[in-house]
Amino acid sequence: MDIELDAVYIVWLREVKKYFRAKERILGSLAMPIFWFLIFGSSMRFTVNVGSNIDYSTFLAPGIIAMALLFTSIFSGVSVIWDREFGFLKEMLVAPISRLSIVIGRSLGGATTAVIQGIIIMILSILLGVKFSLFSIVILIPLMVLISLGFVSLGITIASLMETVEGFQLIMNFIVMPMFFLSGALFQISNLPNIFKIFVYIDPMTYGVEALRYISTGGFSSIPFYVSLSFVVVFSAVTSIIGAYAFSRRK
């Protein structure tokens, strides 16, 4: 049991060290969320009325935090392909540890880096005038971990089925951007035509955004919080199981 826990810790530590050593990765993954927040939040905060006595920047901040979590989490799965191409994955697989420990370590490492990205966006939001209570910050961090675990596991699942980085990136482009735009990160989903709501409500990102928004704004959400939280929990559990299975089937 101790060796499995040590394996989880070492794989987690490796993922975190890789993140901090790749300064360009940090800047690159933050560029798009910051761009969206500065452009939309600053230019439209006085023109878009979302109701409930909150301005657009306050409404937008949870969506941009969720965007940072989504992008960082899913694209962390590409490390599976890189490790396979450079032979490091083979060394890990022949070690006297279970593949489940490797998956758990990778998932926790990817979630850790994603949450760091989310906290950076939160700090930026505060500097730009968005108010977060101490209580909301305390609740948001474990919620971000839960959301990140689900999307990291999704990234690991897809990476385990792909052979090349190019193929992974192509699939991600068809998944990540639609998930983001349909999630209600930039707009209220209650104002959408019914035909679009079908896609919105099957998008797991929607429930992550709404859960973050409910906590950060003190109760503003288009979906009841217990529904959003339940969906996030189930999604994270299911993708974790599928991710572990897909990774374990790798030759």
pLDDT tens-digit readout, 73-104 = 888 777 777 777 666 666 676 667 777 888 88
Any idea which residue has 């994603």 for tokens? 114
In this structure, of 5-19, 27-41, 106-120, 225-239, the range with the lowest mean pLDDT score is 27-41
Query: Which pLDDT belongs to residue 171?
Result: 76
8 A C-beta contact, residue 157 and residue 239: yes
Residue 199 and residue 203: Cα distance in Å, rounded?
6
Query: pTM to 2 decimals?
Result: 0.88
Q: What are the respective helix, strand and coil percentages of the chain, to the nearest 5?
A: 80, 0, 20
CA-closest candidate to residue 187, choices 65, 36, 48 = 48
Token pair in block for residue 222 = 């288009």
